[in-house]
Amino acid sequence: MKVIRIAATGGPEVLRLEDLQTPEPGPGQARVRIEAAGVNFIDIYQRTGLYKVPLPYVPGLEAAGTVEAVGPGVADLRPGDRVGWAGAPGAYATHAVVPADRLVRLPERVSARDAAAALLQGMTAHYLAVDIGALQPGDACLVHAAAGGVGLLLCQIAKRHGARVIGTVSTEAKAALARQAGADDVILYTRQDFVAEVKRLTGGAGVRAVFDGVGRETFERGLDCLRPRGVMALFGQSSGPVASVDPQLLSAKGSLFLTRPTLFHYVASRAELERRTGDVLGWVADGTLKVRIDRAFPLAEAAEAHRALASRQTAGKLLLIP
């Protein structure tokens, strides 16, 4: 099989295409022939060493394809099943061995590409809006990078729950995409002070939740967008990690809540995984959650995919196709 593997952390050039022996699944595992793999910022964090992983390492935490073989003790899957996953490593490859309890079947109307584009970022958007934001009709929220992979899905899911969505983007083209995804108001942060605009749009009240995947450039000022007892969900750091936070700051700005979540704690149990994937893939299947794929790269061009994602000039999902 072919894989992208890193032997040492560094820039995109450390992503090397290699040939490895195709593995056999062990107990409780299934081997999947990958048809599409998602490219996510966490892959960049792992490649650079910001998030530590054992080396050598095959990156990629999200993919979809077809089961080729199952190991002992796997009763719920069989060869030929169409499946996807988010959370198990090794997706930058033609094949991967994955714990069977992390795989979910794909609805008939969901393609492998759409599943690979929706699972990790869609479930992230789901737990942000449904669990952390606990958005109710009439609540206002701020979505940074609203035309990004998570942002476009988060706008749709927040609107589905009746929230007023305010998004930030860098260009008019991205503003149009955010509006198509349901954003009620869009702020061009390259031209406007997003704090002042949020206060103006909410009549000075602020928003219930800020969903921040940008990090260093937006975090501290994002706290000023929250209403008293609002929640800041810092779920990424595409612009770099944020500085240390004095907890007294949260008190001074309105008894705010701050969380730095990761998806894997929100799909820890099989029941929660099935609930979240059931919603996300079900909405994709019935057409009420639109997935936007910005570009698909051949597996051998993983480095180019990383460069494109890091440029923050993309709108929607990037995929690798083995």
pLDDT beyond 90 at 313: no
Mean pLDDT, residues 56-82 taken together: 97
Q: For residue range 11-30, list pLDDT tens digits in order.
A: 999 999 999 999 999 999 99
- As a whole number, mean pLDDT of residues 2-8 equals 98
Reported confidence tier of residue 315, pLDDT bands at 50, 70, 90: confident
Of 255, 254, 258, the residue nearest 245 (C-alpha):
258
Q: Is the pLDDT of residue 316 over 90?
A: no
Domains and CATH numbers, the chain: 2-119+264-321 (3.90.180.10), 136-260 (3.40.50.720)
pLDDT of residue 166 exceeding 90, the answer is yes
Chain center to CA of 265 = 14
Indicate whether 301 pLDDT > 90. Answer: yes
* Encoded amino acid at 215, one letter: G
* Average pLDDT for the chain: 96
Cα separations (Å) of 208 from 136, 164, 226, 232, 235?
Answer: 10, 10, 6, 9, 16
Residue 280: pLDDT band by 50, 70, 90 thresholds? very high
pLDDT band with cut points at 50, 70 and 90 for residue 241: confident
Confidence (pLDDT) at 259: 98
pLDDT of residue 310: 92
User: Token pair of 167, please?
Assistant: 């998004």
Largest Cα–Cα distance in the chain? 61
pLDDT over threshold 80, residue 312? no
Tell me the whole-structure pTM to 2 decimals: 0.93
When pLDDT is averaged across residues 171-179 and rounded to a whole number, the result is 96
pLDDT at 237 over 90: no
pLDDT interval class at 153 (50, 70, 90): very high
What does the pLDDT read at residue 290? 96
- Residue 314: pLDDT over 90: no
* pLDDT given for residue 67 in this prediction: 98
Contacts of 120 (CB under 8 A, 6+ apart): 38, 40, 61, 62, 86, 87, 263
The pLDDT score that the predictor gives to residue 169 is 96
| Residue listed under structure tokens 């995804």 | 181
Percent of the chain with pLDDT over 70: 100
Q: Please compute the mean of the pLDDT values over residues 187-214 and round it to a whole number.
A: 96
Which of the four pLDDT bands, split at 50, 70 and 90, describes residue 181?
very high
Which band of pLDDT confidence, cut at 50, 70 and 90, is reported for residue 239? Answer: confident
| Span 156-178, average pLDDT | 97
- Render pLDDT for 217-235 as a digit per residue (tens, 0 to 9): 999 999 999 999 999 999 9
Strand partners, 164: 140
pLDDT at residue 238 greater than cutoff 90: no
Q: DSSP letters along 107-173, please?
A: PTT--HHHHHHHHHHHHHHHIIIIIIS---TT-EEEESSTTSHHHHHHHHHHHHTT-EEEEEESSHH
